[in-house]
Amino acid sequence: MMGILYGVGAIASIVGAYFSWRYANQAKYHASRAKKQIANQRRISDLSQLQLRWSETYKALAIFGAGARASDLRGNNPSEPARSAQDYIEAVKRCSSSLHGIPDLDDRLGKVTPILEAFSAARSGQDLKDNGTKLLQSLSDLSAAIGSVLVSDKEKIDLT
């Protein structure tokens, strides 16, 4: 009789251990999934902040764009828009780990730097317009690439 009770107890222990193991694995899976979702949300937040910073930079640089008349730009100081563009570039560099969807990011940033320097040094209206237009175009292209990474990430989250 005691042998039967020991056998039933052993079987109950094994069944209990199985269910504990199963629930632990489910918890581990859900924790891992939650961790990935939090990381993706953080990444999307960082990229969204970049887009907001781009909007501010664009407003600062817009007066120097292709539609500007060189005669109207004479005497404008490019230091504040250049600082805004530099801040945007630095923010992009800080978020570069979130921008793995842009394979040539370092090349793009490397090409923007001399344009930014030329824009900062420009004094004539025509130089401000030419360099401002180039800078605006380069940063617009970069922002568009960041925007497509952001959209792609949002779609991945919506699918999970």
pLDDT, tens only, 140-149: 999 998 888 8
pLDDT, tens only, 61-120: 998 888 888 777 777 788 999 999 999 999 999 988 888 778 888 898 999 999 999 999
Rounded-to-integer distance, Cα 73 and Cα 116, Å? 17
Residue pair 80/114 in contact by the 8 Å Cβ criterion: no
pLDDT bin (cut points 50, 70, 90) of residue 29 is very high
Burial class (CB in 10 A: 0-12, 13-18, 19+), 86: middle
Element (H, E) at 140: helix 125-159
pLDDT, tens only, 30-41: 999 999 889 888
CA-nearest of 37, 15, 134, 153 to 95 is: 153
More confident residue, 14 or 149: 14
Task: Supply 12's token pair.
Answer: 């109950």
More confident residue, 50 or 150: 50
Domains of the chain by residue range:
41-159
Q: Does pTM top 0.85 for this prediction? A: no
